[in-house]
Amino acid sequence: MVNDSDATLLSIEGLCANVEDTAILHGVDLRVMPGEVHAIMGRNGSGKSTLANVLMGHPDYTVTGGSVRFWDGDLLELEPWQRSRAGIFLSFQYPQAVPGLQIGAFLKKTVAAIRGKDAARGKEFRAALKDGMTALGLDPSFLSRYVNDGFSGGEKKRFEILQMHLVRPRLAILDETDSGLDIDGIRAVATGIEATIRGRDDAGAIIITHYNRILEHVRPDRIHVIMGGRIVRSGGPELAGELEQRGYDWLEAEAAA
């Protein structure tokens, strides 16, 4: 895949997808350029998480139409592990616990698998790990714990952002990363997103959220509202404030008209 700042990072056209026999996405169109952060908002069941899972290649979701191009390649042709190595990162809405697997070992293996063995050892890795943990307010003893085992909601989300910080993805998809976080947690997560994505001409992010609060710290370039499996409105950061004040009923009425 190319690494050209003039190229489109992600291009989604007419994407349709099913979960089993239920159609969820009904023609999603979205374009993300390098260096951009986009936010997708919408009610529960509107298709936000389905879009994230389809982009990552979750086997329970079937693409029934449309196309997805990542840089110059057909993303839909790649297996999930290939998408990860190509630079797609998904922060899960509900991270799973893995008892018995220490975080330190998990992070090294993850970075080695995605960025290569050299990136998972030496001073550079240790410095990046220390910087990420400090920014996210994680104690060094955190590395000896087991992956998500007994974690609070906030710890799970901070750990997801630490993984993102270390693997340095080209496209970070953050599915409700702000869910369950207090104010300090939101600020820490926002700082991690900004540090990992902003200022790079080979990366971008999609933040999936219900609320405006994280978007006050990570100012997105574009905000999109998804309803009924389609994007019905796009705008600048001010759109999030309008949704906070007016809800979604007015957009639903416009979409139905």
For the chain, the domains span 10-92+169-256
φ/ψ (deg, to 5) at 29: -120, 130
φ/ψ (deg, to 5) at 79: -70, 160
Q: Please check the confidence at residue 99 and state whether its pLDDT lies above 80.
A: yes
How deeply is 8 buried, as exposed, middle or buried, from its count of CB atoms within 10 A (0-12, 13-18, 19+)? middle
Q: What is the mean pLDDT of residues 123-133?
A: 93
For the stretch 169-221, pLDDT in tens is: 999 999 988 877 888 888 888 888 888 888 888 999 999 998 788 888 888 99
Q: Please check the confidence at residue 255 and state whether its pLDDT lies above 80.
A: no
**CATH entry 1.10.274.10 includes domain 10-92+169-256:** no
